């Protein structure tokens, strides 16, 4: 089997294993957050940060939710990293944004954060702060989901079908799931451009 065929077959396997109930729960939580005037904060590191930035656009423009990603402001991100440390960069940003119980944190991550292994400690501390505030927590993660899966109100774990492709599949399926969410009839509030010019 060629690499292309293998990789695409793995993607099909992941789609077949995605937890529909978790995705539906995410739709409910996002709809409630929007209805109550809550804000959506998307958190990610590396490729997941790029996904968070794209998702902010989609949730704002298509769903009509107030949405933000702390990684979109590189000046503040690097200033907080320099002055307060990488592990607390998201928690301090959320505190500065006056995170409240009506809001929702949405984590995109390959591992979901793990303090013991010192992987994405900034996500862990942000989620711990979110729990203190009492806001809703969502996640799209890979591997075993890490800390995000432990504390989220709804979390989609992208199944590991090939350990050598954990990262690319996790980050690719973050996009598949968030595009599903913004396209869901319970959330979609505005037509997308190409669909509107059929």
- CA 49, CA 69: separation in Å to the nearest integer? 8
Q: What is the CATH number for 160? A: 3.40.50.10490
Contact indicator for 186, 31 with CB cutoff of 8 Å: yes
Whether 128 is covered by a domain: the verdict is yes
In this prediction, residue 197 carries a pLDDT of 76
- CA 177, CA 8: separation in Å to the nearest integer? 17
Stated as kind and residue range, the H or E segment containing 25 is helix 20-35
Whether 197 is covered by a domain: the verdict is no
- Enter the tokens of residue 57: 């656009």
Whether 130 is covered by a domain: the verdict is yes
Whether 121 is covered by a domain: the verdict is yes
Tally of domains within the chain: 1
Tally of CA atoms within 13 A in the half-sphere of 51 that contains its CB: 26
Whether 22 is covered by a domain: the verdict is yes
Would you call 19 exposed, middle or buried from its count of C-beta atoms within 10 A (0-12, 13-18, 19+)? middle
Task: Give the residue from 34, 31, 63, 46 showing the smallest Cα distance to 107.
Answer: 46
Whether 194 is covered by a domain: the verdict is no
What does the radius of gyration of the chain's CA atoms come to, in whole angstroms? Answer: 17
In this prediction, residue 133 carries a pLDDT of 98
Domain that holds residue 49: 3-188
In this prediction, residue 59 carries a pLDDT of 98
Low-confidence ranges of the chain (pLDDT < 50): none
Whether 196 is covered by a domain: the verdict is no
pLDDT in tens, 116-166: 888 899 999 999 999 999 999 999 999 998 999 999 999 999 999 999 999
Whether 79 is covered by a domain: the verdict is yes
Quote the pTM value.
Answer: 0.95
Q: Within the chain, what is the greatest distance between any pair of CA atoms?
A: 52
């Amino acid at each position: 089997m060629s690499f292309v065929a293998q990789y695409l077959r793995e993607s099909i396997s992941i789609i077949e294993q995605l937890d529909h109930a978790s995705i539906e729960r995410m739709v409910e939580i996002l709809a409630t957050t929007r209805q109550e005037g809550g804000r959506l904060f998307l958190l990610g590191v590396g490729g997941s940060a790029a996904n968070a930035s794209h998702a902010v656009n989609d949730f704002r423009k298509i769903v009509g939710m107030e949405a933000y990603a702390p990684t979109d402001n590189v000046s503040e991100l690097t200033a907080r990293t320099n002055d307060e440390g990488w592990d607390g960069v998201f928690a301090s940003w959320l505190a500065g944004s006056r995170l409240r119980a009506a809001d929702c944190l949405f984590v995109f991550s390959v591992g979901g954060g793990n303090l013991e292994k010192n992987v994405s400690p900034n996500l862990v501390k942000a989620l711990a702060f979110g729990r203190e505030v009492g806001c809703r927590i969502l996640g799209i993660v890979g591997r075993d989901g890490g800390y995000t899966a432990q504390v989220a109100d709804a979390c989609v774990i992208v199944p590991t079908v090939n350990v050598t492709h954990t990262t690319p599949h996790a980050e690719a399926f973050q996009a598949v799931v968030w595009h599903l969410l913004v396209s869901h009839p319970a959330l979609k509030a505005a037509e997308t451009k190409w669909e509107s010019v059929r």
